[in-house]
């Protein structure tokens, strides 16, 4: 069970990694962060987009894991495998985003979503 808690925590922290990558590339203005974000281009803009998408992907993933653990505790091994597959795919997604590999990025996004949907399915099928 602690492996699942760690997976959800890592997914929650993933947006911060991409934000750090965007800011680390230089020019960050903490006095006017939204104006700074609006002018980003290239890999900084892609890192920011990866951050935003990671924020969007987290709530359904976390909800799926919580529901599946509560409703299908006997499937915790499969849930854990899917959770870590989600993490790996989301990291690869971020890498594809940063390196401007649009088609691969989309494929990785779909595969990570499939992990979330499968976790939801495990929860729903146990009711």
Percent of the chain exceeding pLDDT 70 equals: 99
User: Whole-number mean pLDDT of the chain?
Assistant: 95
pLDDT at 72: 96
Q: What is the pLDDT of residues 91-120, one digit of tens each?
A: 999 999 999 999 999 999 999 999 999 999
Q: Which of 30-44, 56-70, 81-95 has the lowest mean pLDDT?
A: 30-44
Tell me how many domains the chain contains.
1
Q: Which range marks the domain in which residue 105 is found?
A: 2-125
Q: What is the pLDDT of residues 44-54, one digit of tens each?
A: 999 999 999 99
How many of the other CB atoms lie within 10 Å of CB of 45? 15
CATH of the domain at 30: 1.20.120.550
């Amino acid at each position: 069970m602690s492996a699942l808690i760690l997976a959800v925590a890592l997914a929650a922290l993933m947006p911060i990694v991409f934000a750090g990558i965007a800011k680390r590339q230089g020019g960050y203005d903490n006095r006017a962060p939204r104006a700074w974000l609006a002018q980003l281009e290239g890999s900084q803009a892609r890192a920011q987009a990866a951050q935003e998408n990671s924020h969007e992907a987290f709530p359904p993933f976390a909800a799926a894991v919580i529901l599946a653990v509560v409703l299908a505790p006997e499937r915790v091994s499969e849930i854990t495998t899917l959770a870590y597959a989600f993490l790996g795919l989301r990291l690869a997604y971020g890498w594809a985003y940063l390196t401007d590999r649009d088609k691969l990025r989309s494929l990785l996004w779909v595969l990570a979503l499939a992990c979330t949907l499968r976790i939801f399915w495990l929860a729903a099928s146990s009711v």
